[in-house]
Chain A
Amino acid sequence: MNKIQNNRAWFLVLPVFILVAFSAIIPLMTVVNYSVQDIFDQNNAYFVGVEWYRDVLQDPRLQDSLLRQFMYSGSVLAIEIPLGIAVALMMPTRGAMASLSLILLAIPLLIPWNVVGTIWQIFARADIGLLGYAINGMGIEYNYATNATDAWLTVVLMDVWHWTSLIALLCYSGLRAIPDAYYQAAKIDRASDWAIFKYIQLPKLKGVLIIGVLLRFMDSFMIYTEPFVLTGGGPGNSTTFLSQTLTKMAIGQFDIGPAAAFSMIYFLIVLLVSWLFFTTISQLDKNKT
């Protein structure tokens, strides 16, 4: 669609701009200010330059949690994207069953994050939880509170349970947008299911998948509440991710300066990734038209 050049449209955007500027720009400036000072209280703050940035970048704890974060985001994406597509392909297309499965799938998305943590905390416990009880019953030693591998697997499984539905719903609606004529043509050509998937469905899903990957990457990158409730970041530091490290610094130890410097680095990484995704999306849009 051709858009009209009209700078008065700014008036329509102004409320959003003011609202978001108020709650984004002011805090962001504050973070920058904090990150260059050693702050004891309101009246005792000393300028330290880029000292905190150097500390934070060289701190092995933070490097570890950054590495863990990328591994975590990578593994949940690697599971959730294919699984979500598969679930979307299996969903019934019409009738009461379609509504029912839609509602069922959406349930995990609307459960408060700490309750998600609580659900899995109970579900995976060896003494009172079905999952833990069943796994131990099969003769496999499993305890997410003491074994780092178990904790890691539980947190990933929880994320898969929580968020695969989002990918599935996105893909489901993407699939609904494919006209029936395509499938009929494929039938006439006696195309295999795999060929239908590869040449008709997957290309149509490209747009939603990019959105899905973006949302999932970002949300898993800022995950805090669920592992915090489930494992408290432990055992040791095995499930401590970036947000939790940051929150511990800022609120637990009140190291405002380093926490702010860390926030800035965190924010820059997020900015870079969202820019890459955004550019990809708009390049795709451009190629389409």
Chain B
Amino acid sequence: MSRKKNIGITAYSIFVLLPVYWLINMSFKSNEEILGTFSLWPQQFTFANYQVIFTDPSWYNGYFNSITYVVLNSIITLLVALPAAYAFSRYKFIGDKHLFFWLLTNRMAPPAVFLLPFFQLYSSIGLFDTHIAVALAHCLFSVPLAVWILEGFMSSVPREIDETAYIDGYSFPRFFIRIFLPLISSGIGVTVFFSFMFSWVELLLARTLTSVNAKPIAAIMTRTIGADGIDWGVLSAAGVLTIIPGILVIYFVRNHVAKGFALGRV
């Protein structure tokens, strides 16, 4: 049985990795080679595609723009979601269930529905083409999920801990930061994973809300379609570079994620 399992999981891993490998393969080839010969690995290994990206500011600024709004989004999400999740996990209050549901519906709403009004809204308050606009727009989707995940983690912390801390003379903010946050660090890891995941991968809103200064890398990638067809090499190289931050994030939160899901909403 165990051997069969190993074969199965290996087969699935290959299925997951093969398309990614192909992208990496392409990124080290010149365009002549990509279109000229079919080969499983680069025949003439070249860094030229990466050079294009690292030497052109309009390319590498795209990465900085994306990372800037993703980080902003994660910070805002955590700051507002932590107290809210605490309230949902510890107290009953008027309209709590409905508020919770309403938050979740925003996570479910298609970004396309909000496209036009978002554009109008952020233009009218002068935030169009700024990082904060994209971060705020993404909050609409990351905050509900964050509250949901964190609420699950907080509910698994017994409330006796809160009460003991208050008896020991802790004020609420001090208790929250010194005692409570360390207890739910896995939950914070998972939350960051999810807000990162959403904000980094989303394109539709990010593209609509920016034009030059805050344009995300994902939107810049469409530039590779030039007069003489698509520049496959540079497109692949840019794609490979967008995968790296994701892998770093998974690496750091890997233990939290497995534990996290289990403790969280299950």
Contacts and interface: CB of A to CB of B under 8 A. Distances in A.
Interface of A: 1, 3-10, 12-13, 15-17, 19-20, 22-24, 26-28, 30-31, 34, 86-87, 89-92, 98-99, 101-115, 118-120, 122-123, 127-131, 133, 161, 165, 169-170, 172-174, 176-177, 193, 207-208, 211, 218, 221-222, 224-225, 242-244, 246-247, 250-251, 256, 259-260, 263, 266-267, 270-271, 273-275, 278, 282
* In the complex, the 10 A-B pairs of residues with the closest C-beta atoms, listed nearest first: A110-B246, A173-B261, A27-B117, A222-B110, A9-B91, A12-B87, A30-B117, A9-B87, A173-B262, A12-B83
B111 A128 contact: no
Nearest to A89: B5
Interface in B11-32: 12-13, 15-20, 22-23, 26
Contacts of A115: 218, 221, 239, 242-243
A90 B5 contact: yes
A170 B261 contact: yes
Given A113-B203, A129-B22, A247-B112, A169 B257 contact: yes
A277 B100 CA distance: 13
A170 B158 CA distance: 24
Contacts of A211: 265
Contact of A3 (B92, B107, B203): B92
A177 B105 contact: no
B90 A4 contact: yes
A250 to B, nearest CB: 5
B265 A208 contact: yes
B16 A20 contact: no
Given A104-B17, A222-B111, A271-B108, 10 more contacts: A24-B109, A30-B121, A102-B254, A106-B257, A110-B250, A172-B261, A174-B266, A270-B108, A270-B110, A274-B104
A34 B18 CA distance: 46
Mostly, the B contact residues are: helix
Contacts of B147: 16
A27 B38 contact: no
Contacts of B236: 118, 122
Contacts of A92: 6, 9
B111 A174 contact: no
A143 B227 CA distance: 23
Contacts of A130: 18, 22, 40
B50 to A, nearest CB: 16
Contacts of A3: 89-92
A20 B218 contact: no
B13 A104 contact: yes
Q: Is the interface of A mostly helix, strand, loop or mixed?
A: helix
Given A107-B243, A161-B16, A27 B23 contact: no
A6 B93 contact: yes
Interface in B211-233: 217-218, 221-222, 232
Contact of B111 (A17, A20, A224): A224
B192 interface: no
A15 B80 contact: yes
Interface in B91-130: 91-94, 96-97, 99, 101, 103-118, 120-121
B84 interface: yes
B87 to A, nearest CB: 4
A20 B105 CA distance: 11
A107 B246 contact: yes
B139 A23 contact: yes
A169 B261 contact: yes
Nearest to B140: A23
A193 B5 CA distance: 12
Contacts of B217: 112
Given A3-B92, A114-B218, A161-B19, A15 B83 contact: yes
Contact of A90 (B9, B97, B111): B9
Contact of A111 (B116, B208, B243): B243
B35 interface: yes
Contacts of A282: 97
A275 B101 contact: yes
B245 to A, nearest CB: 8
A110 B116 contact: no
B136 interface: yes
Nearest to A21: B102
